[in-house]
Amino acid sequence: MSREGVTPQSEDFSAWYNEVVVQAQLVDRGPVRGTMVIRPYGYRMWELLQADLDGRIKDAGHENACFPMFIPESYLRREAEHVEGFSPELAVVTHAGGKDLEEPLVVRPTSETVIGEYMAKWIDSHRDLPLLLNQWANVVRWEMRPRMFLRTTEFLWQEGHTAHADEDDAMRETMWALGAYADLARDLAAMPVVPGEKTPGERFAGAVRTYTIEGMMRDGRALQAGTSHYLGTNFAKAFEIQYQDEAGALTLAHTTSWGMSTRMIGGVIMTHGDDKGLVLPPRLAPYQVVIVPIGRKEQGEEAAAEARRLGAALKAAGVRVHVDDNRPQLSPGFKFNEWEMRGVPVRIELGKRDIDGGVATVVRRLPTVEGQGKEQIPLEKVAEVLPAILDDFQAFLLRRAEAFREENTAAVDGWDAFAAQVASGWARAFHCGDTACEDDIKAETAATPRVIPSDAPAETGDCVKCGRPSAYGKRVVFGRAY
């Protein structure tokens, strides 16, 4: 263990992650294997993500609804590919109320089937389209190898479900959702992501096309941080989601679904964290600034009073601030280390010397310019300049993450170079599109095709594994993933 109390990333990234999420007071382990208790500090991050995304969803014309978490097993069986894809992850209730149930109930793994049932009831005419629904909910997928935020048996998410008159309108919706997720990741999480389509072997069960945003974590692995699916008429056929068109003919609707979960918090942790703990982008930090008064007895009381005054000024300026003035038994050094562990973007130290000099000592969690980690700012200017300091830190984290991704991504053509590249980063390579070939690549390297990038240039070449012609007309991003 390092002196800060967590395993260094270079020694064991997985151990570092597991320790940080607990020591930074984001989560605790739940009473059932694979479940998690999200503590207030971690839940505040989810609330900030949720509020931003919910605003985007509503601004685009969607309405929130709430559907049951218990789904009749027969609903899932109506779309064969869907139930087959989810079958290993299902939690099924067979006994309730002191007796066996006539029909088993599936605890919601996702809601295409139950929402499809009600879309069929609510849609009659072309005038009912598009139907734009969203749900904030918890879902259950039985995980064999759980990891907090990334893969847990129960997790929080939003799931959009929409129905449209035709493929063009449904595809516009699918791509809107993908763009909303990419913007959220970049704007709030300072996480640069690659948007694009999944290969057929990586598609969502029952989808015609699946789109994803993929981020690179600081161990070089990929994280799927949000997905959007064009479902075609697959679910419309299974649930008879149809409408009367302008000519009076019954026509199948085209549906979509899209979702982002608490996995995004795991992405923030692994995109920015370091050996001291979390590094939080200001727009997602529960506390953007923590003020630590320094001193004992009268000097400590004077520093605490000044800290509270400064805290009120920062709050009035729209800054999320916490004044750490109610734990006199803890030394300032302990508090500094604790707030570094918890990833607070900016710490302000206030002691007698600072107050006498009319300044506050402002410490960034990471220096945004070499040597610029700590500076003294006149007390009367702090509330005025702090918002710009936070914006600068947010932009710095995005640049840093972009640079890391570029340094660890390379275009490769030969198999040996491919295997070496995906051992620690991402490879951009040609692929034949054959699922069996994807399986061979995964078996030998643990890497999978993460995304066919939307903005990748048109290129042709031979598959990096089998030598057959590329199926996609561009290079595919491969990497090991969470």
Q: What is the structure's pLDDT at 189? A: 98
Average pLDDT on 307-334 reads: 94
355: pLDDT strictly greater than 50: yes
Q: What is the structure's pLDDT at 65? A: 98
Note the pLDDT tens digit of each residue in 42-84: 999 999 999 999 999 999 999 999 999 999 999 999 988 888 8
What is the per-residue DSSP string for 61-119?
T-EE----SEEEHHHHHTSHHHHHHHGGG--EEEEETTEEEEEEEEE-S--HHHHHHHH
Band of residue 4 on the pLDDT scale cut at 50, 70, 90 = low
Question: CA–CA separation, 276 vs 73, rounded Å?
Answer: 47
- List Cβ neighbours of 148 (8 Å cut-off, separation of 6 or more): 18, 21, 22, 26, 27, 29, 36, 266
- Our CA angle for 72, 162, 223, nearest 5°, is 85
Lowest-pLDDT choice from 3-7, 130-134, 262-266, 365-369: 3-7
2: pLDDT strictly greater than 50: no
Note the pLDDT tens digit of each residue in 168-202: 999 999 999 999 999 999 999 999 999 999 999 99
Q: What is the structure's pLDDT at 161? A: 98
Lowest-pLDDT choice from 215-224, 260-269, 297-306: 297-306
Q: What is the structure's pLDDT at 1? A: 36
462: pLDDT strictly greater than 80: yes
Q: What is the structure's pLDDT at 289? A: 98
Q: What is the structure's pLDDT at 373? A: 78
Q: What is the structure's pLDDT at 371? A: 61
Question: CA–CA separation, 402 vs 422, rounded Å?
Answer: 18
Angle 435-445/415-422 helices, nearest 10 degrees? Answer: 60
Q: What is the structure's pLDDT at 5? A: 77
What is the per-residue DSSP string for 124-191?
-BGGG-SEEEEEEEEEE---SS-BTTTB-SEEEEEEEEEEESSHHHHHHHHHHHHHHHHHHHHHTT--
**Which is more confident, 373 or 313?**
313
264: three-class secondary structure by DSSP: helix
- In the predicted model, what is the mean pLDDT of the chain? 96
**Given the structure tokens 């149809």, which residue do they identify?**
242
Q: What is the structure's pLDDT at 252? A: 98
Nearest residue to 265 via CA among 17, 67, 2:
17
**How much of the chain, in percent, has pLDDT values that exceed 70?**
99
Question: CA–CA separation, 188 vs 398, rounded Å?
Answer: 10
List beta partners, residue 106: 71, 92
List beta partners, residue 162: 132, 256
Question: CA–CA separation, 76 vs 89, rounded Å?
Answer: 13
Q: pTM of the prediction? A: 0.95
Question: CA–CA separation, 230 vs 370, rounded Å?
Answer: 46
